[in-house]
Amino acid sequence: MKIDKSFYVNRRNELINRIPEGSAVFLFAGKGRAMSQDSNYRFLPDRNFFYLTGLSYEDGRLVIAKDKSGEVKTMMFALKRDDLIERWHGKRMSFDEVSQISGVDVNDIFDVGEFDEKVYEYLNGYVLLLDETSINEETHNFICSSESHTDVGPTLTSMRMVKLPEEVKCIEQAAEVTEAALDEMRKCIHEGATELELYTKLEYEMARRGTLIPAFETIVSIGTNSFFLHHADPEDENGVIAKKGDIIQIDVGARCCGYCADISRTYFVGTPDDEEDNERREKLLSLIRDLRRNAFAFIKPGESFLTLNEKMRKITGEALHEWGILSDGYTEEDVRNYYWHNTSHHLGLDVHDIADREEKFREGNCLAVEPGVYIKEWGIGFRIEDDVLVTKDGCRLLSSGDDSDASVYVREN
């Protein structure tokens, strides 16, 4: 899948409409992070730079200047082709290729070495709009060197919170890749399987479908490792190994055109010998499915993370009280001891996409929805997670959301 350059042109035009005259926006792709003295980690550009350009391009720089008469000048700075450097460090895009992806006119693309000369007039005569939400060092160095500036981050956050059709399609595609990887991985589930075995299968299946950098660190948790919510270091045969009756928690997400999926699935390794353990597992699965149905029915414009979490904790509290885990007169804080994390978060170019979490849901928001309950007294806890788009009067699933696929009983040996 590929996003047409018109998307990035339109996103820049939307930003131009939102900034005042006499201002200049500076955005930086960032530089690679060193892994060793002569090697870097795989590069992922600043997300707001990518949002406006579509370029996964190290050291790229975007300047959008709007003068006091409303005239706009857009400039892109990129690394020029260099045969000797490319011989050792990999192929660079030509300026024509940069233009074809970003939609910036090729005549407005310059070598990074010309940056200081070309932007001098905007540094002195314009209000600087810099992105304080950025995590890359280059942006923060530029912020520190400026005498004064205005934060453009909230404007870009507001734009990114409402997804356009092209973005929604990317998230749907990322979900398809994720679920294809899950389908292949579950064939490897058996008594004696290790977390590392399942983890590497997921990573491989996503990579062969184009995801070289997953949306986040893949989580594979066997048994009580599910009580460590971000268990990102899979154990080998010297750690936890799947045994009959175990629960396996998977949390994984692919990327498509930079956009993330976030999907959690729970798998059962056969049926426990202990009838009570099996009954408890079924009760918890039934509760999680009930929470999911209620969440999908509840999410719509005008609701919020606050109201959604309140509803989920209410349903959870009632179930835990019915099961005798919570006593009469229990409080919301008591429920939080079992309902650990929030039900949902924004999804987009980041798995926890940048957002104003106090803002009520709007049409076009993309959310990951992950009700989860963790009962240490029973030794079990899990979540099931799918991705949704907030629509005019509700929400629709972007991932499969099929409850029958959210758990699988593996045939007994």
What is the block-wise mean pLDDT of the chain (413 residues), using blocks of 10 residues?
Answer: 95 98 96 88 95 95 96 96 91 96 98 94 92 92 89 97 98 98 96 97 98 97 96 96 96 98 96 94 96 98 98 98 97 97 98 97 98 97 97 96 58 50
Pairing of the two strands 259-260 and 263-268 = unpaired
Q: Tokens 């976030």 sit at which residue?
A: 262
> CA distances (Å), 392 to each of 132, 188, 299, 305, 364, in order?
32, 41, 11, 17, 8
Token code pair at residue 27: 């955005």
Q: Which of 108, 135, 160 is the last residue of a domain?
A: 160
The sign one gets for the Cα dihedral 258, 370, 263, 366 is negative
Q: Which of 120, 137, 160 is the last residue of a domain?
A: 160
Q: What is the pLDDT of residue 40?
A: 87
Q: What is the pLDDT of residue 73?
A: 97
What phi and psi, each to the nearest 5 degrees, are found at residue 210? Answer: 105, -5
Residue 24: domain span: 5-160
Q: What is the pLDDT of residue 132?
A: 95
Domains held by the chain: number = 2
Do 155 and 174 have their domain in common?
no
Do 177 and 119 have their domain in common?
no
Do 145 and 218 have their domain in common?
no
d(CA 77, CA 94): 12
d(CA 206, CA 178): 7
Under 8 Å between Cβ of 232 and 277: no
Do 321 and 397 have their domain in common?
yes
Q: What is the pLDDT of residue 409?
A: 53
Q: What is the pLDDT of residue 242?
A: 97
Q: What is the pLDDT of residue 125?
A: 87
Q: What is the pLDDT of residue 1?
A: 80
Do 271 and 182 have their domain in common?
yes
Q: What is the pLDDT of residue 401?
A: 80
Token code pair at residue 267: 């798998």
What phi and psi, each to the nearest 5 degrees, are found at residue 47? Answer: -70, -35
